[in-house]
Amino acid sequence: MLLLHRILSNYNSYMAAKQRLPILLVAVLLNYATQIPYYLHQYYFPRHLLPNLVGVALLSATLVWFLVGYIMFVRDKKYGKGLLLSFLASQVLFYGHAIAFGLINGGGAVAQLKTHSQFLFVIFLIGYVNFAVAVYYSVLLLKTGRGAINSRG
């Protein structure tokens, strides 16, 4: 009976995670979309600098990483959860790094939000929201357990 309860609990956690996935999709895509106006505002308009090709390639690769993991998870593919979790872990580490250095340097956990530009404030706020969303979904997906996920190839 305990095993059945555990399986049902894992399944319910899994279904809850899948039902809330559109929030994750919107948050991550919004975060990527903000990179274009951020680049234009910070680099192109003031200095007419063209985008760094390595940076564009890395940004594109991480977007593909997210989309592949997301789609595979939604479709119950074997490695979807792992790919999605690895992407979310990278997001948590990336933004966690910014938070840690803000604290170390005396600026506070959300030091970037102390900008005088409303435009940059919104961009940075979207980034911090993305951090919170990544933490939330990492925990939610880790709670689903392995047995609840369909292991079709």
Nearest to 152 by CA among 75, 85, 43: 75
Q: Are 21 and 73 in contact (CB under 8 A)?
A: yes
Per-domain residue ranges of the chain? 2-143
Give the sign of the dihedral formed by CA 135, CA 136, CA 139, CA 142: negative
pLDDT tier at 149, thresholds 50, 70, 90:
very low
Model confidence at 46: pLDDT above 70: yes
pLDDT tier at 138, thresholds 50, 70, 90:
very high
17-39 average pLDDT score: 92
pTM over 0.75: yes
Q: Is residue 77 helix, strand or coil?
A: strand
24-33, 107-116, 119-128: the lowest-pLDDT one:
107-116
